Amino acid sequence: MGYAHEYAQAILHRGRVPMEPTDHVVNWADGPRKGKYYPDAEAFALPGTEDLADVPVAPGLLPGTAPAREQGAGFDLRLLSAMLRDSYGLTGRRLGVQANTDLPGLPFYTHANWSRGTSGGGGLYPVTIHWACGPSGPLTPGLHHYDVHRHAMLRLLAGDVTDRVREALGPDAPGWARDTDQYLILGVKYWQNSFKYNSFSFHVVSTDLGTLVQTWRIWALARGLRLAPVLWFDEPRLNELLGVRGGDETVFGVVPLRWAAPGGDTAPAARGSAGPPRPAPAPVTTPAPAPAVAPVAAQARTGTPSRPAGAPRTDPGHRPSVRHRDAERSRALLDFDALDAMHRATLAGAAGRPPAGALAPAAALPAGDGGIRTPLPPPRFPETGLRRALRDRRSSFGRFDARRPVGAGELSAVLAACAGTRLAGDTDPLDTLRLARLYAFVGHVDGVEPGAYAYDADRGDLRLVTAGPQGSFLQRNYFLANYNLEQAGAVLVPTVRTTAVLDAVGDRGYRLAVGTAGAVAQSFYLAAAALGLGAGVALGFDNVSYVERLGLADGDEAPLLIMALGHERPGPADFRHEIA
């Protein structure tokens, strides 16, 4: 039994036994930036995408309804730009009047809160996005960092490094992960979150990984594309490539992209065939600031001799590493023992991918037969556009209004979207394993009596667990003052058998277990936005009380989030910054 078991228990009981350090005080004035800053890296703007036609969000939310993938369908630069903008890019400014504690500072630019399509724990967004672009892509091969503030790519390293990424994934990685030369590499900068959440940080950043990946999965599915993360790989090798110290920032996941070649066919690397001979790119260089990349571009795009089939694109003995360094804003950075211990625990065995079927014993438990059942209408979503839902996604923060109940059909659609959420990837390449189970505390839903219910995803109905109003229980066990949960139509609770996941695949499975909960949260937000409902997800609650209330004390299900759903008060106060 590794350290992750101990950490999981500490997270579960932190509402009753505070985690060390109990005397931590957040130094907001010395906080980090919400994003990395490379002052000397060359930047280029990504294509504008505002005129990209929207598509319905429903196929991305409901399993089994996504359009069939067209032959040769894949990403291009415009689609990648749109996906990055819609997910992690800044799309607006939060100035609405609400009940969160940051309200007084929002009008000041130095305290501005920018909206994104993806939710983030505490609004901190510590996930970093790097793009390893190979020869089949639209740019000079190299490693690029996505600058969320400018919606631009920063070239950190010139030359093709995708062989290095592929080697780090390992020879046993799924074919779809190896047969491409385009990768999005997701890192986590711990301090960007831990300055606020200290020892709780590893749990929060794991949810952040899940929210971002799920945004991309929904985005891709709605357009007839597919993507999934790889979570087991040689992590130190990728950290070396990015030029980061694992204890400060580390790679949490790799997302291979299927790339469309000019003319609509899939790039040769993505088809898994050698294809016609390609010019050999220059050996990888690690340029100093403002690198001279023209010679690399010339060699990559002109008629240099083609490499022999199967030969590496770069010198196997060369170990490229980014030399640019993130300019940290904070003057004093703190270490937290639990965070460091979890980093080391999940790093051990990072390249030892679990065998096929290893996660099966940790699957979500079936709802079972019997009990008092409440049927729900079939889940349906309106024709809300994907990009519209991502722009409308927000946390309600005290704006719920119980005078207008949630419809049973609306609850059914949100539950189905959440229950159908899977990260898939290298531990579930067939995309069939459900890790999360849903419970619903119903307060104000048409046709459903107040009570706590277990959602049966196979039958699409609710099984009664505890009858009667639940509002006082919900509010009593919530730590903050920014929500009145009694006013929500329903509060959904995803559970994951965290210890079973750790037993099945080791300590590294903590990222997967909690990342799955984060993915469920993102499905929840987008489902609510598609239906025009308010939503809010919180981590600050007494998990043990929920275990007791739902009768889970004899099992291994862990409630990881609470997700409030309901209509908001009409005519809320807001400020249209874009027309000011």
The string of pLDDT tens digits covering residues 146-174 is 999 999 999 999 999 999 999 999 999 99
Q: What is the 3-state secondary structure (H, E, C) of 234-279?
A: CHHHHHHHHCCCCCCEEEEEEEECCEECCCCCECHHHHCCCCCCCE
pLDDT above 70 for 208: yes
Mean pLDDT of 301-310: 44
pLDDT above 90 for 290: no
pTM for this prediction: 0.91
Helices and strands (H, E) in the chain, number of each type: 17, 16
pLDDT above 90 for 277: no
Residue 365: what residue type? L
CB-based contact 192:122 (threshold 8 Å): no
pLDDT of the residue at 296: 37
CB-based contact 505:497 (threshold 8 Å): no
Residue 34: what residue type? K
pLDDT tens string 472-517: 999 999 998 888 999 999 999 999 999 999 999 999 999 999 999 9
Rg (C-alpha) for the chain, rounded Å, is 23
* All structural domains of the chain: 35-95+106-305+314-347 (3.40.109.10), 360-578 (3.40.109.10)
Mean pLDDT of 429-441: 95
CB-based contact 45:152 (threshold 8 Å): yes
pLDDT tens string 59-78: 999 977 777 766 668 999 99
User: In a 3-state reduction of DSSP, which class is residue 222?
Assistant: helix
CB-based contact 409:573 (threshold 8 Å): no
């719920």: which residue's tokens? 400
Distances in whole angstroms, Cα of residue 311 to Cα of each of 87, 277, 278, 314, 529:
36, 12, 12, 9, 49
pLDDT of the residue at 113: 76
Mean pLDDT of 570-580: 78
Mean pLDDT of 305-316: 56
pLDDT of the residue at 109: 73
**Residue scoring higher pLDDT (302 or 420):** 420
pLDDT band at 572 (very low <50, low <70, confident <90, very high): confident
Query: Which of 493, 512, 476 has its CA nearest to residue 552?
Result: 493
Type and span of the H or E element at 463 = strand 461-467
pLDDT, averaged across the chain: 90
Query: Which of 446, 451, 463 has its CA nearest to residue 402?
Result: 446
CB-based contact 127:135 (threshold 8 Å): no
pLDDT of the residue at 98: 79
Q: How long a stretch of residues is the chain?
A: 580
pLDDT above 50 for 238: yes
- 388: CB partners within 8 A, 6+ apart: 54, 57, 529
- Percent of the chain past pLDDT 70, that is, above it, reads 89
pLDDT above 80 for 17: yes
pLDDT of the residue at 302: 36
**Residue scoring higher pLDDT (103 or 451):** 451
Q: Which region holds residue 481: left if phi is over 0, alpha if psi is between -120 and 50, else beta?
A: alpha
pLDDT above 70 for 278: no
pLDDT band at 142 (very low <50, low <70, confident <90, very high): very high
Mean pLDDT of 19-48: 95
pLDDT above 80 for 410: yes
Distances in whole angstroms, Cα of residue 507 to Cα of each of 4, 347, 350, 424, 500:
5, 8, 9, 18, 11
